[in-house]
């Protein structure tokens, strides 16, 4: 049986995690890298802040570890935090070798920002467009490598596991069915190892800082294949997304607050000091809840972020991207405050993976935002996410290069995708309507503040939508929009199921029914698996 493509390693995703892994493997193996749309359409490209790393003489690994554990509200794995933080310097060194040009002081030293939750300046950055600088450098290097085949506009439909092809075999992953969206053609791809590097799921909410492709695809793919999923209730809402009818998903970096911006109400009065002694530099969950409370208490649509007390030169030098973007909307941030609202930003939970990025399914790895490694716990600290991408791409590369030569070849024939029973859709409006309904009720019922009643309402609607989407999927040819909706409804279900398990408020999960944290010697992670759900339904 010939395949569209056969790879040693198939990486799904072209952000910081996926491309770092591809570059670390490519001297030894043949790598395929799939991008759902174009190479710069993922979250990495839009990351403003930077990468946390201990580089300052007054800073220490222990301090970075302590800050991360504090932000994670008792749910971080200390071993994973230590492992990740200890790789900061070498991760930055590796990126510089790939051609990433970070912002420097006049002395030539790297300039370090400070962000919420950090007790020191330790954010390495490229002005306020760090992700763009990283993305472009890694893409250039990957395109140059003869062993890396990059396929843009390829959206994965489902992972293929051995047990689907031969019931006598286990769930080992052997490849994937992939929709080539340019040619509207489904390909079967075989691989000895598959890696999920698909990013997060923030588009399950009505307001998000993420690009429109952040639809939780990897989490849903892993779930359907049989992976364990953990801590999905911890969806991080970034406190400051630009609030303007013409501004779609534009983030106002945490570094703006790190450099002295104030959060103020419509009268210009600061309010954060009433919520936390750290004021604007409190962790994101606290700041987002404070803004949410201010908006609901006073019935206003936004609050304001004001850095106009700093000099115009300082603002333009430190935040050129934000300055230019706001100016296009007639907001001069050197003179006026920026209207902001919280928006879904980062998925702290995800596919359970170990210290080498392995999942519970043989030959399937998960790296970056799609994974739940134990680094973030109940709340991710600013700028630890890109560090996690780099460190776990490195860890996965070590394990893959060690085990790949010894993996037995399964030589299974992957059947072609069967479209004989489906037709072209005559009801595209069903997809757009369901997409809109899902994101709206997730925002209303499973947002920054939750209750049992809201979660139960959301779950009833999810069950109805799932049935409708499954019926649609079984009757019509697949499209990118349909695949994303099918994945989003699974993500929504997993968020609610995890939230229903947690009878306390901790980190990013705040419920009015259980406003206190359960002070336990061993705080618990939530976990759902397909086997658990089967038992529940019996």
d(CA 103, CA 16): 19
On the question of pLDDT at 537 being above 70, the answer is no
Same domain? For 200 and 309 the reply is: no
d(CA 265, CA 303): 5
Question: Is 41 in contact with 139 (CB distance < 8 Å)?
Answer: no
3-state helix, strand, coil in the chain (%, to 5): 40, 20, 40
Q: Identify whether 53 is part of a domain.
A: yes
What confidence category does residue 316 fall into, taking pLDDT thresholds of 50, 70 and 90? Answer: very high
pLDDT recorded at residue 285: 83
Same domain? For 205 and 244 the reply is: no
Question: Is 29 in contact with 404 (CB distance < 8 Å)?
Answer: yes
Least confident of 138-152, 470-484, 488-502: 470-484
Q: Identify whether 534 is part of a domain.
A: no
Span 421-437, mean pLDDT?
A: 85
On the question of pLDDT at 435 being above 70, the answer is yes
DSSP 511: B
Q: Identify whether 275 is part of a domain.
A: yes
d(CA 449, CA 333): 30
CA distances from 82 to 57, 60, 393 (A): 19, 12, 16
Q: Identify whether 440 is part of a domain.
A: no
Mean confidence (pLDDT) of the chain: 94
pLDDT recorded at residue 3: 53
pLDDT recorded at residue 291: 95
What confidence category does residue 89 fall into, taking pLDDT thresholds of 50, 70 and 90? Answer: very high
| 423: helix, strand or coil | strand
Same domain? For 35 and 107 the reply is: yes
Q: Identify whether 419 is part of a domain.
A: no
Residues 376-393: pLDDT tens digits? 999 999 899 999 999 999
Active site residue 114: no
Residues 141-187: pLDDT tens digits? 999 999 999 999 999 999 999 999 999 999 999 999 999 999 999 99
Span 259-276, mean pLDDT?
A: 97
CA 404, 410, 416, 421 torsion-angle sign: negative
Q: Identify whether 129 is part of a domain.
A: yes
On the question of pLDDT at 228 being above 80, the answer is yes
Same domain? For 155 and 285 the reply is: no
**304 φ/ψ angles, rounded to the nearest 5 degrees:** -135, 145
d(CA 484, CA 216): 8
Number of domains present in the structure of the chain: 2
CA distances from 96 to 100, 134, 260, 315 (A): 5, 9, 29, 26
Span 413-439, mean pLDDT?
A: 87
Residues 10-59: pLDDT tens digits? 999 999 999 999 999 999 999 999 999 999 999 999 998 899 999 999 99
Helix orientation angle between 217-225 and 480-501, rounded to the nearest 10 degrees: 70
d(CA 25, CA 101): 23
Span 77-95, mean pLDDT?
A: 98
**208 φ/ψ angles, rounded to the nearest 5 degrees:** -145, 150
Same domain? For 267 and 310 the reply is: yes
Question: Is 278 in contact with 381 (CB distance < 8 Å)?
Answer: no
Of the two residues 409 and 148, the one the predictor is more confident about is 148
Same domain? For 149 and 13 the reply is: yes
Number of other CB atoms surrounding residue 111 within 10 Å: 18
What confidence category does residue 425 fall into, taking pLDDT thresholds of 50, 70 and 90? Answer: confident
Question: Is 251 in contact with 209 (CB distance < 8 Å)?
Answer: yes
Same domain? For 184 and 47 the reply is: yes
CA distances from 347 to 143, 230, 373, 397 (A): 29, 11, 12, 23
Q: Helices (DSSP H) in 299-348: which residue ranges?
A: 312-318, 320-328
Question: Is 72 in contact with 381 (CB distance < 8 Å)?
Answer: yes
| 93: helix, strand or coil | helix
| 343: helix, strand or coil | strand
| 342: helix, strand or coil | strand
Chain-centre distance of CA 328, in angstroms? 28
3-class SS string, 8-28 = EEEEECCCHHHHHHHHHHCCC
pLDDT recorded at residue 1: 34
pLDDT recorded at residue 170: 94
Same domain? For 85 and 165 the reply is: yes
- Percent of the chain past pLDDT 90, that is, above it, reads 86
The CATH number assigned to the domain holding 302 equals 3.90.700.10
Lay out the sheet containing 229-230: strands in order across: 371-372, 350-352, 229-230, 527-528
Q: Identify whether 298 is part of a domain.
A: yes
* Residues spanned by the domain of 124: 5-233+348-405
Same domain? For 169 and 250 the reply is: no
List the end-to-end C-alpha distance of the chain, in Å, as a whole number: 39
Which is catalytic among the residues 30, 284, 363, 454? 284
Same domain? For 359 and 334 the reply is: no
Least confident of 151-165, 287-301, 453-467: 287-301
What confidence category does residue 538 fall into, taking pLDDT thresholds of 50, 70 and 90? Answer: low
Question: Is 478 in contact with 186 (CB distance < 8 Å)?
Answer: yes
d(CA 226, CA 75): 24
Same domain? For 202 and 74 the reply is: yes
On the question of pLDDT at 2 being above 50, the answer is no
The CATH number assigned to the domain holding 189 equals 3.50.50.60
Q: Identify whether 375 is part of a domain.
A: yes
Span 118-138, mean pLDDT?
A: 96
Same domain? For 339 and 365 the reply is: no
């Amino acid at each position: 049986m010939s395949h569209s493509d056969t790879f040693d390693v198939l990486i799904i995703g072209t952000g910081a995690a996926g491309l770092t892994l591809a570059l670390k493997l490519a001297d030894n193996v043949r790598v395929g890298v799939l991008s759902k749309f174009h190479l710069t359409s993922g979250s990495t490209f839009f990351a403003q802040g930077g990468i946390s790393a201990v580089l300052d003489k007054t800073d220490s690994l222990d301090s970075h570890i302590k800050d991360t554990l504090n932000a994670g509200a008792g749910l971080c794995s200390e071993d994973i935090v230590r492992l990740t933080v200890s790789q900061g310097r070498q991760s930055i060194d590796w990126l510089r070798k790939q051609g990433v040009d970070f912002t420097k002081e006049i002395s030539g030293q790297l300039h370090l920002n400070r962000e919420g939750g950090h007790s020191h300046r330790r954010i390495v950055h490229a002005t306020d467009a760090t992700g763009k600088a990283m993305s472009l450098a890694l893409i250039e290097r990957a395109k140059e490598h003869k062993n890396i085949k990059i396929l843009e506009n390829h959206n994965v439909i489902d992972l293929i596991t051995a047990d689907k092809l031969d019931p006598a075999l286990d769930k080992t992953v052997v490849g994937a069915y992939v929709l080539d969206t340019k040619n509207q053609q489904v390909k079967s791809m075989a691989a000895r190892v598959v890696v999920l590097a698909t990013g997060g799921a923030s588009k399950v909410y009505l307001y998000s800082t993420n690009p429109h492709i952040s639809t939780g695809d990897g989490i849903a793919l892993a779930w359907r294949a049989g992976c364990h999923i953990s801590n999905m209730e911890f969806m991080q809402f970034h406190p400051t997304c630009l609030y303007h009818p013409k501004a779609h998903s534009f983030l106002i970096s945490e570094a703006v607050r790190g450099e002295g911006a104030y959060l103020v109400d419509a009268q210009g009065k600061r309010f954060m000091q009433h919520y936390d002694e750290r004021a604007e530099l409190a962790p994101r969950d606290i700041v987002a809840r404070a803004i949410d409370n201010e908006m609901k208490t006073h019935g206003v649509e936004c609050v304001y972020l004001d850095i106009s007390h700093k000099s115009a030169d300082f603002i333009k030098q430190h935040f050129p991207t934000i300055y230019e973007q706001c100016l296009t909307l007639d907001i001069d941030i050197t003179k006026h405050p920026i209207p902001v609202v919280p928006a879904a930003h980062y998925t702290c939970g995800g596919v359970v993976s170990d210290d080498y990025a392995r999942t519970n399914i043989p030959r399937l790895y998960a790296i970056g935002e799609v994974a739940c490694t134990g680094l973030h716990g109940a709340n991710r600290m600013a700028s630890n996410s890109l560090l996690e991408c780099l460190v776990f791409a490195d860890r996965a590369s070590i394990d893959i290069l060690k085990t790949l030569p010894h993996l037995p070849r399964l030589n299974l024939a992957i059947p072609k995708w069967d479209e004989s029973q489906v037709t072209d859709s005559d009801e595209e409006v069903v997809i757009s309507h369901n997409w809109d309904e899902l994101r709206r009720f997730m925002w209303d019922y499973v947002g920054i503040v939750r209750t049992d009643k809201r979660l139960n309402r959301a779950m009833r609607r999810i069950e109805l939508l799932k049935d409708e989407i499954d019926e649609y999927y079984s009757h019509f040819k697949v499209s990118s929009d349909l695949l994303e909706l099918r994945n989003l409804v699974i993500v929504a279900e997993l968020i609610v199921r995890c939230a229903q398990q947690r009878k306390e408020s901790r980190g990013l999960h705040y419920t009015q029914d259980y406003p206190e944290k359960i002070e336990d010697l061993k705080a618990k992670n939530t976990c759902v698996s397909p086997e658990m759900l089967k038992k529940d339904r019996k």
